[in-house]
Structure 1
Amino acid sequence: MTSALSRPQLVAWRTAIFAIFFATGLGFASWAARLPAVKVDLGINDFEVGVLLFVSGATSLIGLSLANLIVVRWGARRGMFFTILTFAAGVIIAGLGVQVAQSYAVTAVGLSLMGLGMSSTDVMMNVEAAAVEQAFGRTLMPLFHAFFSLGTVAGAGVGIAMAAGGVGVGLHLGAVGIAVIITGLLALRAVPVHDAVPTDEAAAPGRGERLRQSLVVWRDPRTYAIGIIMLGMAFAEGSANDWLTIAMVDGHAETEAVGAVALTVFSVAMTVFRILGGPLVDRIGRVWTLRVLSVAAAVGLVLFILAPSLPVAFVGVALWGAGASLGFPLGMSAAADDPTKAAASVSAAATIGYLAFLCGPPLLGWISHSIGILPTLWIIVGLIVMSGLASGAAKPIAGSKVGAGHAAH
């Protein structure tokens, strides 16, 4: 029972969820950083790389759907024990598939496990993060997501070092997978078992009831409104990750090195604002924070598209990154306001966000092939505006202890 936890236990719980966010970011980025080596070692082309990424994306959607049922049946702590192991096993198998077996099929199996384990862990760690927020009575979700971002930075950095040192993909990803397992198992020891989880078969809801609980949130208009917030900001974030460097090179005629610097500026701005976002939300509220940052993201992207000079383009990139930083975490926080259906709501909201991350890059690529990359980015401006207009849906529900801002107290 979380209300009976002592202050040290609450701090340990918070630290544990920080660690899980960091570990998932580390594992994800470690694989992404070695994609060039994967391509060479397996002797595959860009299309076949795309198929591998599609396999991971498809199983991610399955993991999102299963996460709520796992939480309802076993609770987030027990559920994450299996999903973190699944994710780490996928990382290890993918590495072995590339370097040891040199098998496209084995690598695909590893990626399918990675996608399944990561997405289901994503839902559960966000449910736990929302519970930590409520226990502390202040906004912490952006900081949790900042730890994921820090994990991706660490994973990318280690990946660069491993590639420069000639370390094989199998050895690298094997070590990362083991590190994820150790971190996850140690962290889960500090995660409490919540009273809502049934402890015996008689108390457990039947399969039909669990399915009904997982689907009822899709009939709630608030789910879709929160989904719009996350959709717009997921497109804003994902488009930068996948197309910013190309837009800088092809759209603004800069070098690849300048494109890499631009992506770094975007990532740093996003991470910094995720670290600082909690106090801002607690001051002005979740809704106004989303509105202000949607304006910042839209203005930043417009500046980048129309930039007459490189300094203006970098200012636009920084505003774009800062503005897009809190849409996804605050959407997750809003979806989890009601603890009785947090898992189902987070799962539904995350599904919408993941669809944007998965479908957005190829859709933008197809459109940019016809009209150019900079004109294509105007679509993202429209989606950011749509996200800002839907921000009212993030207003905390009655009984929630976070997200209202000081003006409401």
Structure 2
Amino acid sequence: MSQPTAQPAASTAASSGATAAETTAHGSAGPGATTAAADVARAGGPSDGTAAAAVADGATAANLPAADVPAADVPAADVPAARAGALGSAAARTLTRRELVAWRNALFVIFALCGVALASWVARVPAIRDAVGASTWQMGLVVFGLSGGSMVGLVLSSHVLARFGPISTIRATMILSAGGLVVAGAGGSIGSIPVVIAGLAVFGLGTSTCDVAMNVDGAANERALGRTVMPIYHAMFSVGTIIGAGTGALAEHLGVPIVVHLSVVAAVMTVAVLIAVRFLQPDPALSAAQEEKEATGRGDWRRRLTVWRDRRTLLIGLIVLGMAFAEGSANDWLALAMVDGHGVDNATGALVFGIFVTAMTIGRVFGVFLLDRFGRVPVLRVSALLAGVGLTTMIFAPNPGLAAAGVVAWGLGSALGFPVGMSAAADDPATAAARVSAVATIGYLAFLVGPPLVGFVGEHVGLLNALLIVLGLVAVAGIVSPAAREPERQPRRLGGATGA
């Protein structure tokens, strides 16, 4: 099946202008000539190479203004596309290796902050339940506040990104999440269930929107670096959850009031994100695509929704759904399945879950080398096979030791599906926000619907047998993995850097 390229369609129409700029960038005319070449591209200048030759001979922006370059050779309808393509190329060359690495590291911090925030809330759930005196049914309403806010954020995320861009969206939604966390903590401290629900709805809204924005920006950073990084971003999220869970447990042990603990976390999130976003870079290709769409009147919300009718987007969503189901089911049921199904004690069940999390984190860190070496499709197929073998072993193993070995394979196999799906959804910068939003929405269904489904089935057939549902979805993810095939990579020259 044909795959969309990672370059906006505008670049074809803009080839003549971009060529002029490229000729200058690799010649000896100097910075002034580069500006002139950009002016040629913006004006949709002639395609016969005369403008490029003039620039190469030493022309500067002062003696070759854009207004003096004839635009007759480029149809009027193509001028926005030419301008967008040239601007994207010129902007990309201004990024130095140091800027690219700083951008990557800032995203590491942002992904980790999201993990810290979520784990900080989860660590205080028992304390909040006791503080508000909630029944199991009432706690279900509390969790629904978080889930409902998250789903609204996912649905709105592509439109917010189209309006404000990833950088502003990350900054605003992280601060919004921090505010929601404070409100939820205050609700717990005053014993008000409605306040807790309201705070969690705001927290979920901000977190899910930020999730899409940081994945879109992470995919842009991947393209700029020319190497796979997305799984490491998601590994940093896992590291953040470890930090958040640890500090939450410490706060609980020391008797720190809920609102004080969560307010401190919110303050750290706010300060850290305000610093981190200073090192983020706009995606040149996305900026060019947005400008071209606005110029031709095609960048409206209705067009963004058409990604839901795109076959490739839906298939990538299935990959993410299957692998997210494998991850989410382990988070919610693995420890209990080991206790009830294999007869281990509670401490051993918790230890086995720790083995799963560790294996998954290791898989994300080292999986990037496999992805760069072999590509997405072979790695996803092997991942699905590994997760399937691990699940089968864990379910049918005759003793706990063999089951734990299966859990290692389960964790390694589940590691790359979600992050690779996010990268694949963002392959085309022109539709990255809408596609990532759609794929994330499909994937989050696994985290929202998966746990109660496994629990309901497990009530009737046992937890181990209920996990066969996960095995089936992982098999589907492996079958449709060709949908994630990467577009052909083009050579890059970004400030003389080819990687990080």
Rounded to whole Å, the distance in 2 between the matches of 1:255 and 1:178 is 39
2:126 maps to which of 6, 21, 36: 36
Deviation, 1:201, is 11
Q: Indicate the residue corresponding to 2:81 in structure 1.
A: none
The 3 A distance-change label for structure 1 pair 194 and 337 is closer
Q: Indicate the residue corresponding to 2:159 in structure 1.
A: 69
Q: Which amino acid aligns with 2:159?
A: L
Rounded to whole Å, the distance in 1 between the matches of 2:388 and 2:398 is 17
Say yes or no: does 1:329 pair with 2:419.
Answer: yes
The 3 A distance-change label for structure 1 pair 304 and 194 is closer
Q: Which amino acid aligns with 2:275?
A: L
The 3 A distance-change label for structure 1 pair 140 and 401 is farther
2:381 maps to which of 268, 291, 299: 291
Q: Which amino acid aligns with 2:177?
A: F
Work out whether residues 293 and 299 of structure 2, in 8 Å CA contact, stay in contact via their aligned partners in 1: no
Deviation, 1:80, is 1.4
**1:39-118 matches, cutoff 5 A:** 39-99=129-189, 101-118=190-207
Q: Indicate the residue corresponding to 2:302 in structure 1.
A: 212
Q: Which amino acid aligns with 1:32?
A: V
264-273 or 201-210: bigger deviation: 201-210
Residue-by-residue CA offset, 1:324-380 (whole Å, 9 max, x unaligned):
011000000110111111100100000000011101101111111111111111111
Rounded to whole Å, the distance in 2 between the matches of 1:401 and 1:117 is 36
Work out whether residues 3 and 135 of structure 1, in 8 Å CA contact, stay in contact via their aligned partners in 2: no
Rounded to whole Å, the distance in 1 between the matches of 2:339 and 2:455 is 15
Deviation, 1:3, is 3.8
Work out whether residues 177 and 203 of structure 2, in 8 Å CA contact, stay in contact via their aligned partners in 1: yes
Q: Indicate the residue corresponding to 1:157 in structure 2.
A: 246
Residue-by-residue CA offset, 1:268-291 (whole Å, 9 max, x unaligned):
000111111111100111111111
The root-mean-square deviation of aligned C-alpha atoms, in Å, is 2.0
Q: Which amino acid aligns with 1:110?
A: G
Q: Indicate the residue corresponding to 2:110 in structure 1.
A: 20
Work out whether residues 320 and 477 of structure 2, in 8 Å CA contact, stay in contact via their aligned partners in 1: yes
Rounded to whole Å, the distance in 2 between the matches of 1:59 and 1:175 is 22
Work out whether residues 72 and 197 of structure 1, in 8 Å CA contact, stay in contact via their aligned partners in 2: no
Q: Which amino acid aligns with 1:337?
A: D
**Higher-RCO chain (CA-CA 8 Å, sequence separation at least 6):** 1
Q: Indicate the residue corresponding to 1:358 in structure 2.
A: 448
Rounded to whole Å, the distance in 1 between the matches of 2:292 and 2:231 is 38
**1:155-304 matches, cutoff 5 A:** 155-195=244-284, 196-197=286-287, 209-304=299-394
> What is the number of equivalent residue pairs in this alignment?
400
Deviation, 1:71, is 1.3
2:210 maps to which of 86, 105, 121: 121
Work out whether residues 13 and 190 of structure 1, in 8 Å CA contact, stay in contact via their aligned partners in 2: yes
Residue-by-residue CA offset, 1:23-82 (whole Å, 9 max, x unaligned):
000000100011110110111112211111111111111101111111111111111121
Deviation, 1:210, is 2.3
The 3 A distance-change label for structure 1 pair 281 and 203 is closer
Residue-by-residue CA offset, 1:174-212 (whole Å, 9 max, x unaligned):
1001111111111111112345549x9999589994212
Work out whether residues 245 and 259 of structure 1, in 8 Å CA contact, stay in contact via their aligned partners in 2: yes
Deviation, 1:213, is 2.9
Q: Indicate the residue corresponding to 2:220 in structure 1.
A: 131
Unmatched 5+ stretches in structure 2:
1-90, 493-500
Say yes or no: does 1:372 pair with 2:462.
Answer: yes
Work out whether residues 161 and 213 of structure 2, in 8 Å CA contact, stay in contact via their aligned partners in 1: yes
Deviation, 1:21, is 0.1
Q: Which amino acid aligns with 1:265?
A: I
Q: Indicate the residue corresponding to 1:144 in structure 2.
A: 233
> Runs (4+) of structure 1 moved beyond 3 Å?
193-198, 200-209, 398-402
2:300 counterpart SS class: helix
Could you tell me the TM-score, scaled by structure 2's length? 0.77
Deviation, 1:307, is 1.2
Work out whether residues 134 and 400 of structure 1, in 8 Å CA contact, stay in contact via their aligned partners in 2: no
Unmatched 5+ stretches in structure 1:
403-409
Rounded to whole Å, the distance in 2 between the matches of 1:285 and 1:292 is 11
Work out whether residues 138 and 401 of structure 1, in 8 Å CA contact, stay in contact via their aligned partners in 2: no
The 3 A distance-change label for structure 1 pair 262 and 225 is same
Residue-by-residue CA offset, 1:145-176 (whole Å, 9 max, x unaligned):
00000000111111111111111111111100
1:75 counterpart SS class: helix
Work out whether residues 112 and 236 of structure 2, in 8 Å CA contact, stay in contact via their aligned partners in 1: yes
Rounded to whole Å, the distance in 2 between the matches of 1:140 and 1:213 is 29
The 3 A distance-change label for structure 1 pair 201 and 394 is closer
Work out whether residues 213 and 344 of structure 1, in 8 Å CA contact, stay in contact via their aligned partners in 2: no
Work out whether residues 73 and 204 of structure 1, in 8 Å CA contact, stay in contact via their aligned partners in 2: no
The 3 A distance-change label for structure 1 pair 209 and 133 is closer
2:467 counterpart SS class: helix
Q: Which amino acid aligns with 2:227?
A: R
Work out whether residues 220 and 283 of structure 2, in 8 Å CA contact, stay in contact via their aligned partners in 1: no
Rounded to whole Å, the distance in 1 between the matches of 2:425 and 2:350 is 34
The 3 A distance-change label for structure 1 pair 88 and 364 is same
Q: Indicate the residue corresponding to 2:486 in structure 1.
A: 396
Q: Which amino acid aligns with 1:11?
A: V
Q: Kindly name which structure, 1 or 2, has the bigger radius of gyration based on alpha carbons.
A: 2
Deviation, 1:232, is 0.6
